[in-house]
Amino acid sequence: MHSQLCFKSLFEFCKCSLHTHLTKDIPIVDAHCHLDDFYNNQLFVESLSTTTVRKVYAISNKHKYQNWNKHLYNSCDNLHVYESFGIHPKFIPEHDLHERLIQLENIVNSRVNSLSGRPIVGVGEVGFDETSRYQLIDQKLALERQILIARQTDLPLILHCRGYSFFRVLFDYVSSLLPSNHPIQWHCVKSDSDLTVIDNFISYFSNSIISLNGATTSIKDIDQDKVFKKWIRNHPHILNHLVLETDCPWLCPQGLSIQRYNPCTGIFITSKWVENVLRAPGKNASTIVEIANDNANKIFRF
């Protein structure tokens, strides 16, 4: 699939013979990435710095409390960065959780990162993870306070869930603590997610969004993949709740070299994957990027 995508069109106006070009001047919104971990990608920074056809809006997730005070200077005028802060279930503090949660609340309440000057647009990523060395009771303790911070600040909550059995537990927990109109992003929905729970999530939370990324291109179970694609194709409201993300520098799309992986190439590949799955008239990759951008803007208000 990647061989039919014109990556040149991400940064230049191009009329080559490849099947898919991303329409010029459409911005790219990466609704979930980790800028602290990939901004050393000089090829991406240089390409974006010199382009006249593209702007990128990235929501950089500061999910490790050790990095809350870390700031990477952004010298690229075409890259607009917004931040979210949270405690990931795999990175819970060993001894000072209460103090860190107070620190988190103070950071989020300011609405602007005092170090970077960037707007703070969300709380998270937070949730449950079966690969965490922390027990579920400890993960719940960290999650509950962060849900309350999101509720008090009216900022979107960004959910992380790894482990099929945890999806129902996470949804029940969040829905018991937040009103149904609270904005929530369920990050990294893919073929091994509990789609029944995701259906419940979309139905219950009217301002909910789900994020798709390069993980959709990696087929680990053929039957799961078929079910997932059918679910997307037949969901009557999927485009009203869809945003695109990369989780960069992780979850590189299958078949793409890590050197070429960045918010532009990652979003482009995922948008084409969605186009191929939907097979809907008028819903090409560029249109899907525009729809996803609008949905992200409504939730994160940037």
The full set of domain ranges for the chain reads 30-300
Query: 219-228 long-range contacts, Cβ below 8 Å, gap at least 24?
Result: 219/191, 219/254, 220/191, 220/192, 221/191, 221/192, 224/191, 224/192, 225/191, 227/191, 227/195, 228/190, 228/191, 228/193, 228/195
70 pLDDT band, cuts 50/70/90, is: confident
- Any idea which of 14-18, 107-111, 140-144, 201-205 has the lowest mean pLDDT? 14-18
Is 247 assigned to a binding site? yes
Is 237 assigned to a binding site? no
Residues 38-59 pLDDT 10s: 777 778 989 999 999 999 999 9
Is 32 assigned to a binding site? yes
Is 88 assigned to a binding site? no
pLDDT at 125: 98
Question: Which residues, other chains included, contact 210 with Cβ-Cβ below 8 Å and sequence gap of 6+?
Answer: 185, 186, 189, 198, 201, 202, 241, 242, 243
Report the alpha-carbon angle 177-179-182, nearest 5. Answer: 110
Tell me the mean pLDDT in the region 133-160: 97
pLDDT at 293: 98
Tell me the mean pLDDT in the region 277-291: 96
pTM, full prediction: 0.97
Q: What is the mean pLDDT of the chain?
A: 95
pLDDT at 130: 98
Question: How many Å apart are CA 149 and CA 106, to the nearest integer?
Answer: 10
Is 187 assigned to a binding site? yes
Residues 81-103 pLDDT 10s: 999 999 999 999 989 999 999 99
What fold is seen in the domain 30-300? TIM Barrel (3.20.20)
pLDDT at 1: 62
Tell me the mean pLDDT in the region 191-195: 98
Question: Which residues, other chains included, contact 95 with Cβ-Cβ below 8 Å and sequence gap of 6+?
Answer: none
36 pLDDT band, cuts 50/70/90, is: confident
The closest of 136, 121, 124 to 166, measured between CA atoms, is: 136
Phi, psi of 243 (to 5 degrees): -130, 160
Phi, psi of 275 (to 5 degrees): -55, -45
Is 63 assigned to a binding site? no
